[in-house]
């Protein structure tokens, strides 16, 4: 079954303190800026975050494969992977 959603929320992160290269590398793995037209696999607990008001994301749940695929149609969005 296919669904098209317009993401409706903005998530703001604020960080304090010093970070090492290892911390920066770990952060880079947790968040991914989506590219239009590219398919990404997400699992339960991952979050899609709209970074522009006009962001539209196509979400396809593949129940037989037990996975969900997301594609950025327009605007800008990011995926924050669960830890």
- Answer positive or negative: Cα dihedral of 71, 65, 3, 51: negative
Report the pLDDT value the prediction gives residue 32, as an integer from 0 to 100. Answer: 93
Report the pLDDT value the prediction gives residue 22, as an integer from 0 to 100. Answer: 54
Report the pLDDT value the prediction gives residue 77, as an integer from 0 to 100. Answer: 96
* pTM reported for the whole predicted model: 0.63
Report the pLDDT value the prediction gives residue 29, as an integer from 0 to 100. Answer: 58
Closest CA to 72 of 38, 47, 32: 38
Note the pLDDT tens digit of each residue in 17-33: 444 555 555 555 589 99
Note the pLDDT tens digit of each residue in 62-79: 888 888 999 999 999 999
- Answer positive or negative: Cα dihedral of 4, 44, 70, 35: positive
């Amino acid at each position: 079954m296919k669904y098209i959603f317009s993401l409706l929320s903005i998530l703001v992160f604020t960080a304090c303190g010093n970070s090492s290269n290892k911390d920066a590398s770990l952060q880079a793995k947790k968040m991914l800026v989506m590219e239009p037209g590219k398919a990404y696999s997400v699992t339960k607990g991952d979050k899609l975050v709209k970074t522009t008001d006009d962001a539209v994301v196509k979400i396809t749940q593949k129940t037989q494969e037990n996975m969900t695929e997301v594609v950025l149609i327009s605007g800008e969005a990011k995926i924050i992977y669960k830890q």
